[in-house]
Structure 1
């Protein structure tokens, strides 16, 4: 057994990372002064008087989010223009100087309260780049300003499941660039919201490398430690000495965690991917895009490629100038939720039987069918090639299988799915990684028996779930 492979197999997630991974699907809300200027990036010179979402209804947002099956909402509390959706004590460039609710409104309060009422989790986006704040670029002074605002958000709006940072570091109104004190930001979050994941420009969840919803065919959670600094784009803000690593990896690289990569990388970390895209072409609302909402087929494709490809799915929904999620977006979200529910509501393996070519004591094959994420089937240690067979009890028409590894490791590198028809086994799906969840979609087949052959794995595979579905609920 190669010690590097064994080391990789034992890298584990934190509980906060697991909590977000198990949410699977959650929403981004891009809403600010840009909504009223028809821009994607504001300049910081906008007049707060134009911000007036007279019909703002955060409960409507939450219901739209829930209709698609999403479990959380991340709000752009401050984008690059510096306009604050809460009445921050540290700037006048905020809702308190807008006509909305006569300057007495607080979008962050309304949304966080609505999330609690609706039973979903609330997260915040706070842009480090601030094109309005005069101290931006005077690094020490601005870092304290940013920390003061971060403290407001972390202490006044209840539990936060995620703090989402991007690494944009443009020029300030004073012509200077800022050196962000990431370590201080992280320390404050860990102190005030220890259960919150710090995403993208943070140590807990990484960017998938694009904003188009592209998903890798092999998405590893165990990756080189150097990737943690990729999105901190300002050279002086990076905290990691890259000389410790054999090579520099990019977030856009297709291969971030194969055996070839891990054998050549001294330090590995658990750093799962998040796939983010917008339901429309833009991140903020534009009336010209009302007829450009992504199709149901496209959204299902991204959902199955991300949630079903060992990543989470962050889908952006931009409220309009009324302060509502537009009717076209609401309709599409309901269609998406209905389609996911229709496809994955009835597990045909819930009363199946399982057998394996090999099982370790306490990790019998039946444990892939018990619905318990804390149990799993496994062969004896150092058995890297193994198979498990599912007997559905009768012939069923199936077209999707969901596989899940034990959530504290990721080990399967290559596998095939087979079905038995006429006494012969035939391959219906070829795959690589499984991880938290792998959705395997294939042409419908009719069979009583399905078999998973694991041809490559690290140390010994651990499989927690083997679920079987049909798009035809009468199958």
Structure 2
């Protein structure tokens, strides 16, 4: 390990997989390994199913929980002994910052087999929505073939996937929107926390409301009636993950109609729904761990995914997640996160 971490330049991540086949029960010196890794590579991120820096999401399908918190209590889990639901969803009351990573292979197995075929580009897009779009990092396994090269077939899929992403996210219909909010930290004229900050693609500029409110709203006027089926939201996670529950409405015949409800946002939330059309949208944040902060809001059209309808569009995987959060806050377990 010392050789690997001292003779080959900067190392971004050390992956401790945890799989050992049918080997007998063994004890490992994980704490000593972690200390050595961080001593030799101070900026490195250590992954395992229980952290310490990032955690396994709990499956190998590349799918995170519909609710996905970066905080976790590391004291609740140990390597080799984790709780699937806890891995997928994280912990809004967690004391440790351990964001989830989603791993999946482009082909059925983890190693090269000429008889296997890669997933197609739209399947990768769906995985992207359910991993990166749920506040996770996606690790896509692309194995070399028997010649030590990435196969042409895999390269073609990856290129198609890249082109699809570029096509979808290169046109943000909200880029020139007029944005207002029911309050702004320091007053409506305070540009530091202005609602329009959410149109900048950066987590370092953001909208902040007045302190101490119990509900929060932002209004977006796109300037003209527009068709879309995808939303992107982001929080400035350097200041913590805050939003617990929110919904987005559109204005139809002077009435607000909800098009999507969701839970956590985190670094990035992507929400896909049936194609709709409107000029005005409203973001309503129902509950948050602390005063919510929004760094980005985007409106897009995905014309590549399979047709969606109300029965198969993105929904919560576990309604108990919301019930648990509401119960926890009613019991007074409110976070002390501050801006």
Asked whether the equivalents of residues 203 and 228 of structure 1 are also in contact (C-alpha less than 8 Å), the reply is: no
SS at the partner of 1:336? helix
Quote the offset at 1:455 in angstroms.
Answer: 1.0
Residue of structure 1 in register with 2:315 after alignment: none
Which whole-Å CA distance do the structure 2 matches of 1:324 and 1:359 have between them?
53
> Residues 45-194 of structure 1: matches in 2 within 5 Å?
150-169=1-20, 178-194=26-42
Q: Is the 8 A contact 1:405 1:437 kept in 2?
A: yes
Q: Give the Cα separation in 2 of the matches to 1:224 and 1:191.
A: 23
Alpha-carbon distance change, 207 to 370 in structure 1, aligned in 2, over 3 angstroms? same
Structural mapping, 1:16-55, within 5 Å: none
2:250 aligned with 1:250: no
1:352 aligns with 2:180: no
**1:397 corresponds to which of 210, 214, 227:** 227
SS in 2 for 1:329: helix
Work out which of the residue numbers 130, 140, 146 in structure 2 matches 1:315.
140
- In 2, Cα distance between equivalents of 1:226 and 1:453: 34
Distance in 1 between the 2:103 and 2:144 partners? 17
Deviation at 1:256, TM superposition (A): 4.1
TM-score by length of 2: 0.82
CA separation in 1, counterparts of 2:200 and 2:89?
32
Q: Which runs of 5+ in 2 are unaligned?
A: 187-191, 305-339
Once the two structures are superposed, residues 229-283 of structure 1 have per-residue CA deviations (whole angstroms, 9 ceiling, x without a partner) of: 2x345xxxxxxxxxxxxxxx61444774466xx3xxxx62111111111011110
* Aligned position for 1:281: 108
Distance change >3 Å, CA 169–CA 470, structure 1 → 2: closer
Quick check: 1:419 aligned with 2:250? yes
State the secondary structure of the residue aligned to 2:285. Answer: strand
1:295-444 superposed matches below 5 A: 295-361=120-186, 362-408=192-238, 409-444=240-275
Change (3 A) 1:223 1:258: closer
- Tell me which residue corresponds to 2:316: none
Question: What count of residue pairs does the alignment treat as equivalent?
Answer: 297
Q: Which has the larger radius of gyration?
A: 1
Ranges in structure 1 where 5+ consecutive residues have no aligned partner = 1-149, 234-248
1:169 shift after superposition: 4.3
Are the counterparts in 2 of residues 274 and 312 from structure 1 also a CA contact under 8 Å? yes
Note the alpha carbon deviations across 1:203-254, whole angstroms, 9 max, x for none: 111000011222211011112222552x345xxxxxxxxxxxxxxx614447
Aligned to 1:216: 65
CA deviation vs aligned residue, 1:359-414 (integer Å, no higher than 9, x gap): 21242211111333212112222324211011112222221110001122111111
CA contact (8 A) 1:309 1:434 kept: yes
Closer, same or farther in 2 for the Cα pair 1:448/1:256, shift >3 Å? Answer: closer
For residues 303 and 113 of structure 2, the distance between their equivalents in structure 1, rounded to whole angstroms, comes to 38
Work out the CA distance in 2 between the residues paired with 1:204 and 1:151: 20
Matched, 1:271 2:98: yes
RMSD over aligned CA atoms reads: 2.1
Q: Indicate conservation of the 8 Å contact 2:52/2:74, yes or no.
A: no
1:45-94 Cα deviation digits (max 9, x unpaired): xxxxxxxxxxxxxxxxxxxxxxxxxxxxxxxxxxxxxxxxxxxxxxxxxx
Equivalents in 2 of 1:253, 1:370: separation in Å? 33
Distance 1:171 1:347 in 2: 50
The structure with the greater share of residues assigned to helix is 1
Change (3 A) 1:439 1:171: closer
Distance in 2, Cα, partners of 1:371 & 1:168: 39
Task: Write the distance in 1 (CA, Å) between the matches of 2:122 and 2:111.
Answer: 22
Q: CA 1:311 to 1:226, structure 2 compared with 1: closer, same or farther past 3 Å?
A: same
- Of stretches 163-172 and 325-334 in structure 1, the one that deviates more from structure 2 is 163-172
TM-score scaled by length of structure 1? 0.59
Structure 1 residues 221 and 384: CA distance shift in structure 2, 3 A = farther
Contact 1:215 1:302 (8 Å CA) reproduced: no
Separation in 2, partners of 1:184, 1:320: 36
Q: Deviations over 1:430-474 (max 9, x none)?
A: 11111110001112222211111111111211111111112369x
User: 1:89 corresponds to which residue?
Assistant: none
